[in-house]
Structures are given as structure tokens and as C-alpha cells.
């Protein structure tokens, strides 16, 4: 009787250990769990050439104005805000459309133009996107 109790306890322990250590990944296919939704201000732009990234401060951010942004909403709508001083100081316009995420790709469709970019980096504070031509956009929250 004592041997059966020991064998049963050992079998249960091995079963629990196997179940708790069965999967090393979190089941999300290698994607980050940081939410993509939110308001992202453009910070830097750049290119990749020969494997080397070159980033500069985003020239579309007008001095003295708020930063241009992209807001990704939970209902898969996107709003792009643009501050431009060409006609009037810090004139503000928005364009809206839809977006989707498939694995590590972000696709936006705004005013009939579809943009597909790879999500290179996504943290709580930074979103780095790169298109097929090697153009890079870095956004911050």
C-alpha cells in the first residue's frame, strides 16, 4: 500500500512538472504583447542601406508646433495629425482611415493609399516601422 502511494505521488509530481514546463513560448507566434493602439508622435525618419541604419530628426515636425502623430484606435481606425506652417502658423489637419496588423506587419489605408510596413521594434515607448524600400519611421509615446 505504501509503495502504491509513493508511485502515485511520483506520477502526479511528474505530470504537474511536465504540464507546467511544456511550452517555452507564450503562444503568440513570436509577436510582442505590447499594445499597438495609442497615440504615436513621429520622432525620427531614415533609411537602411547596406545593413546600416541612418536616422535623423523628423523634418515634418514644425518648429514651435506640436509633433505630427499617428493614432491607432482599438476599432482599427487610424488618424494622422499634421501640423504645418506653410499657410498659417501650426495649421492642423487630420486624415483618417483604417489599419490592420498581421504578425509583424502594419497596414494602413488612408485616402485610397495603402502603406505596408514591418514592425521592427515595439515597446511601451517606441514604435519603429520599415517599408520594403528600407525607409524607416520611429514613433514615440
DSSP secondary structure string, 49-77?
ETTEEEEEE-TTS-TTSPPPEEEE-TTSE
Strands (DSSP E) found in the chain: 38-49, 52-57, 69-72, 77-84, 91-102, 105-110, 113-122, 126-130, 135-140
Domain ranges for the chain: 35-140
Architecture of domain 35-140 in this structure? Beta Barrel (2.40)
Q: Which pLDDT band holds residue 31 (cuts at 50, 70, 90)? A: low
Round to whole Å and give the CA distance between 100 and 92: 25
How many C-beta neighbours within 10 Å does residue 127 have? 25
Q: How much is the pTM?
A: 0.75
For 83-131, write each residue's pLDDT tens digit: 999 999 999 999 999 999 998 999 999 999 999 999 999 999 999 999 9
Q: How many CA atoms lie within 13 A of 26 on its CB side?
A: 5
pLDDT of the residue at 22 = 40
User: Could you read off the pLDDT of 34-90 as tens digits, one per residue?
Assistant: 889 999 999 999 998 888 999 999 999 988 999 999 999 999 999 999 999 999 999
Amino acid at each position: 500500500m505504501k509503495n502504491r502511494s509513493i508511485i502515485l505521488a511520483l506520477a502526479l509530481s511528474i505530470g504537474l512538472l511536465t504540464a507546467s514546463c511544456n511550452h517555452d513560448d507564450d503562444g503568440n507566434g513570436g509577436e510582442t504583447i505590447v499594445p499597438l493602439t495609442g497615440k504615436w508622435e513621429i520622432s525620427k525618419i531614415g533609411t537602411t542601406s547596406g545593413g546600416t541604419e541612418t536616422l535623423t530628426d523628423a523634418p515634418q515636425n514644425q518648429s514651435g508646433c506640436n509633433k505630427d502623430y499617428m493614432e491607432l484606435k482599438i476599432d482599427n481606425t487610424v488618424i494622422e495629425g499634421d501640423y504645418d506652417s506653410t499657410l498659417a502658423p501650426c495649421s492642423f489637419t487630420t486624415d483618417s482611415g483604417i489599419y490592420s496588423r498581421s504578425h509583424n506587419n502594419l497596414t494602413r489605408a488612408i485616402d485610397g493609399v495603402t502603406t505596408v510596413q514591418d514592425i521592427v521594434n515595439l515597446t511601451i515607448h517606441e514604435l519603429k516601422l520599415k517599408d520594403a524600400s528600407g525607409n524607416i519611421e520611429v514613433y514615440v509615446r
